[in-house]
Amino acid sequence: MRQLTKRSENYSKWYNEIIVKSGLAEFSGIRGFMIIKPYGYSLWDRMKTILDQMLKFTGHQNVYFPLLIPKSIFSKEKEHTEIFSEGCAVVTHSRLKKNIGKESLIIDPESELQEELVIRPTSESIIWKTYKRWIQSYRDLPILFNQWGNALRWEMRTRLFLRTTEFLWQEGHTAHSTKQEALEETLKILNIYTDFSEKFMAIPVLQGIKPYMDKFSGSEKTYCIEALMQDGKALQIGTSHFLGQNFSKAFDVKYTNFNGKQEYVWSTSWGVSTRLIGALIMSHSDDKGLVLPPKIAPIQIIIVPIYNNNNKEKCMMINEISKKILNILEQEGIRAKYDNNTTFTPGWKFHEYEMKGVPIRISIGKNEIQNDKVEIFRRDTYEKIYLPWMNLKNSIPELLDEIQKNIHKKALNRTQKLIIELDNYNDFKNKINHSGGFIFAHWDGTKKTSQKIQEETEATIRCIPMYNKKEKGKCIYSGNPSLQRVVFSKSY
Amino acid sequence: MRQLTKRSENYSKWYNEIIVKSGLAEFSGIRGFMIIKPYGYSLWDRMKTILDQMLKFTGHQNVYFPLLIPKSIFSKEKEHTEIFSEGCAVVTHSRLKKNIGKESLIIDPESELQEELVIRPTSESIIWKTYKRWIQSYRDLPILFNQWGNALRWEMRTRLFLRTTEFLWQEGHTAHSTKQEALEETLKILNIYTDFSEKFMAIPVLQGIKPYMDKFSGSEKTYCIEALMQDGKALQIGTSHFLGQNFSKAFDVKYTNFNGKQEYVWSTSWGVSTRLIGALIMSHSDDKGLVLPPKIAPIQIIIVPIYNNNNKEKCMMINEISKKILNILEQEGIRAKYDNNTTFTPGWKFHEYEMKGVPIRISIGKNEIQNDKVEIFRRDTYEKIYLPWMNLKNSIPELLDEIQKNIHKKALNRTQKLIIELDNYNDFKNKINHSGGFIFAHWDGTKKTSQKIQEETEATIRCIPMYNKKEKGKCIYSGNPSLQRVVFSKSY
């Protein structure tokens, strides 16, 4: 039972199995809530560390706001509230008591709260309530804050990492004195997310703007990055919202400008979540398990000794060389692990670390001692090469770099093959049903049309691409005039 | 209004003011919930980074379990539940809806949950529910997991960092095949917490065991570290619990041992929280603001230029030297900041960074250019020394080390002066009322006596010290026989 279901047989089953078998996560038994296991959490830790550095480097600071939001604050920004109140966890009491004569506990009715509290689905409301206190003058601006934490949205259909009731994420909340500055911030973050996806996660993304009906509720404009998974469906990886003055108006947050005049503050919010792990899995992995880009991999190199149990002396030599190699690699700052557990066979370990997507495996047996070369196995290409172990200090960093590039290139090639411009609705339907992908097509700009297309094909408008060329055409569905192409795809 | 209330005037007011004025945190307006501001969060980040490394180095791995715990799981371990159900946030509904005809939202009664969910006050129950699934054989043990996250306990009286309804913390949850191993783990963690407090936070602590009536509910034994604050009151900094087989029995978690026999698993849990920040503040700070030990300080060195506005050339030289110094320090891995903001005076900055507890200030003016020496100000002693700036690469790390040691020494001296053995109850009452401190006194081992002492003096038994000498005596209150001294103190 150690094999995975093949992607070609049942993609969705493959996805669930790979998560469980590589030890990333599992469902908790509480509807929609996930347990992130050590290997999964170490992936999230790597992502956090890198992204946190990128955000700090661009002047952002971390803060922490309350988990619970009073209903009256939660409900200030109308559009925002309308969506998020639809599925949220509401705290109503502060005590349980014994159910007299029974084993169980019941709510103590006397502990009813004066006002209900909502677990944050996102923190705009509680943060803008606070910014009201912190912002008086242009000297208090900009505020560039970010929060790492958990959030909760009651979801009907959940999938590990992609959509869970509780999720871990970062949410940025910034305040600015001008519209221009807030817009620049929104795009700066979109570019940070893009760099993070491309350069670290090795996931090629498309930058765009959500059509008006799909923008974040409470925002003026939602920018996003979208990536194509191996099954041709799109996954939204991150979003950056230009909030305009919606929240500053809802919470009456004004500042005194240079000229002593009062103005409403401009703002942005943006976030990426544990969903990124889903994107990583579905972008690169194969039928043997995870494939992790070296920059994200918690373990970059696994060293497996191939003992010959009949020869104790050789075993000791193998052990000694393995430790030396581990030491050399660690000194280069490489995340290496030496697995000298003797209860498992080398074959078992090979399988295990392939499943876990460790980029490079070094195996060391008696041949390796004799000719001073070690066997190097690349997880991304299944190639075996032989390198002198004395020189690993130089060759391994180069190889990790090459693997990182190769994984990105593979994903890019795959994505590019699935990008197409179409002008005929039958072709569109065919394409969506067979290979999926990003379809650039004309749209008349109405919600009605996009709904019809969704009903008939399951495809939705993922975004209006950034830097889109203006091109007059006819809507692929209605035939009505259109000024540019938008991107359709099925999605997660 | 930039001055602090003096500690000698109103200690509690001083404590609240220092937190607000140094920009660490503030209350949110939601009862008992705190907002951690950037400077406070960066302190927490430092602590997390160090402690996380110590825990990983000793084989612990990070995981993440659900925020919400179904009532039926929460109530499995009876003693545990009894305490934590007394003040917990209960989620009962999953939707709010418009209150027809009104602006406000109301709970949608149709969204009532089948079973109430409790926000974790601590995660033993949900974790042991899961360990039941993960543990079958001795090969699955030990499990050494840790979780960084938030938790919530409904508190009546709250104080910034010391006791807040929501708090950030780490909670470790381990499972072992033998009692011996679980006990060793409990003590290993106690020693890690002790090292962390003494070596990084520069806070001297006393290790001990809680008297039976104060142990963590659901545990067999609670070990703790206690520190003395400047007002002579004790603060519990961290706890490590030996849970015996209580949770494995409550959740029926058995493993098959070497001999094929089924046994209940042994376990521990342990945690430190954002309360640590309160301990840090109250251990070292003074009437001018925070005093931070260099190993924890988010900014270790602040460089302040003293411009002479009449001389542009000199200003440029000052700027140049300051940047060079910043560069030298950063290359040594020192957390340095150059504050060349021109809207504030050097005097304002001096005050600000003293308030923020930055260990070293380097100021650079025209004198400094002339004689190649810079003025170094030590926050811990208020001393000024002059050092050649070309040599800061060597002298600053040494100085930081000296400051770290001095802050610890000062706290140790203060603590030692407040430790006393007493055998007379009147002396005891006097001591508690005047200087406070750790009073080593005989106790008859009854809850009744400790309650009487608390009623009359507000002092409680902080712990039974580890490695306590056995010494026969008479209870300081009842005169009944006692076999050892315990530690009394007023506490937070």
Q: For chain A, how many structural domains are there in total?
A: 3
Within a domain: A3 = no
Work out the percent of chain A whose per-residue pLDDT is above 90: 89
Is A109 contained in some domain? no
> Which one-letter amino acid corresponds to residue A101?
G
Three-class HEC string of chain A: CCCCCCCCCCHHHHHHHHHHHCCCEEECCCCCCEEECHHHHHHHHHHHHHHHHHHHHCCCEECECCCEEEHHHHCCCHHHHHHHCCCCCEEEECCEEECCCCCCEEECHHHEEEEEEEECCCCHHHHHHHHHHHCCEHHHCCEEEEEEEEEECCCCCCECCCECCEEEEEEEEEEECCHHHHHHHHHHHHHHHHHHHHHHCCCCCEEEECCHHHCCCCCCEEEEEEEECCCCCEEEEEEEEEEECHHHHHCCCEEECCCCCEEECEEEEEEEECHHHHHHHHHHCECCECCCCCCCCCCCEEEEECCCCCCHHHHHHHHHHHHHHHHHHHHCCCCEEECCCCCCCHHHHHHHHHHCCCCEEEEECHHHHHHCEEEEEECCCCCEEEEEHHHHHHHHHHHHHHHHHHHHHHHHHHHHHCEEECCCHHHHHHHHHHCCCEEEEECCCCHHHHHHHHHHHCCEEEEEECCCCCCCEECCCCCCEECCEEEEECEC
- Pairwise CA distance, residues B39 & B298, whole Å: 8
For A368-395, what is each residue's pLDDT tens digit? 777 888 999 999 999 999 999 888 999 9
Q: Determine whether the interchain pair B65/A30 forms a contact, defined as Cβ–Cβ distance below 8 Å.
A: no
Chain B interface disruption, residue of A63, A117, A164, most B CBs within 10 A: A63
Which pLDDT score, from 0 to 100, does residue A470 have? 86
Identity of the residue in B63, B66, B118 whose CB atom sits nearest the CB atom of A166: B66
Q: What CATH code is carried by the domain that includes residue A306?
A: 3.40.50.800
- Tell if the CB–CB gap between B93 and A94 is shorter than 8 Å: no
pLDDT value at residue B48: 98
* Disruptive mutation site among A27, A33, A107, A166 for chain B (greatest number of B CBs within 10 Å): A33
A277 lies in the same domain as A305: no
Domain termination residue (choose one: B223, B255, B284): B284
pLDDT band at residue A192 under the 50/70/90 scheme: very high
Question: What is the rounded CA–CA span in Å between residue A143 and residue A128?
Answer: 11
Q: Residue B457's domain is classified under what CATH number?
A: 3.30.110.30
CATH of residue A184's domain is 3.30.930.10
Residues B319 and B275 in one domain: no
- The answer to the question of residue A118 being in a domain is no
Higher-pLDDT residue of A221, B29:
A221
Residues A472, A368 within the same domain: no
Residues of chain B found within 8 Å of residue A152, distances taken between Cβ atoms:
67-68
Whether residue B103 is contained in a domain is answered as no
Picking from A258, A284, A310, the residue at the C-terminal end of a domain is A284
B205 or B81, which is more confident: B205
Position B301 confidence tier, pLDDT thresholds 50, 70, 90: very high
| B33 and B85 together in one domain | yes
Give residue-wise pLDDT tens across range B245-268. 999 999 999 999 999 999 999 999
What's the confidence (pLDDT) of residue B369? 73
pLDDT tens per residue, range B147-178 = 999 999 998 899 999 999 999 999 999 999 99
Q: Answer yes or no: is A99 within a domain.
A: no
Residues A275 and A424 in one domain: no
Of A33, A69, A126, the CB nearest to B66: A33
Q: Does B275 reside within a domain?
A: yes
Q: What is the mean pLDDT of chain A?
A: 95
How many CB contacts within 8 angstroms connect chain A with chain B?
181
Asked if residue A264 and residue A307 are part of one domain, the reply reads no
Question: Tokens 């030599």 identify what position?
Answer: A317
Q: Is residue B181 part of a domain?
A: yes
How confident is the model at residue A1, as a pLDDT? Answer: 59
Q: Which of chain A's residues have a Cβ under 8 Å away from the Cβ of B34? A: 66
Shared-domain flag, residues A258 and A334:
no
Mean pLDDT to the nearest integer, B370-381: 91
Among the partner-chain residues A34, A85, A343, the one whose CB lies closest to the CB of B105 is: A85
Q: Do B90 and A87 touch (CB under 8 A)?
A: no
Q: Do A75 and B149 touch (CB under 8 A)?
A: no
Q: Is B404 a member of any domain?
A: no
**Domain residues for B75?**
11-89+119-284
Residue B44 and residue B185 in one domain: yes
Are B79 and B202 part of one and the same domain? yes
Question: For residue B31, is pLDDT > 90?
Answer: no
> Which of A284, A319, A353 represents a domain boundary (last residue)?
A284
Q: Give the tens place of pLDDT for each residue, A225-277.
A: 999 999 999 999 999 999 999 999 999 999 999 999 999 999 999 999 999 99
CB contact under 8 A, A35 and B145: no
Average pLDDT over residues A459-482: 94
pLDDT band at A104 (very low <50, low <70, confident <90, very high): confident
> Are A158 and A35 found together in one domain?
yes
Is A482 found in the same domain as A347? no
Interchain contact, B88 vs A107, CB within 8 Å: no
Is the overall model pTM greater than 0.90, yes or no? yes
Among the partner-chain residues A30, A75, A94, the one whose CB lies closest to the CB of B66 is A30
Q: Looking at the structure, do residues B32 and B173 belong to the same domain, yes or no? A: yes
Split at pLDDT 50, 70, 90, the class of A441 is: very high
Nearest chain B residue (CA) to A88: B94
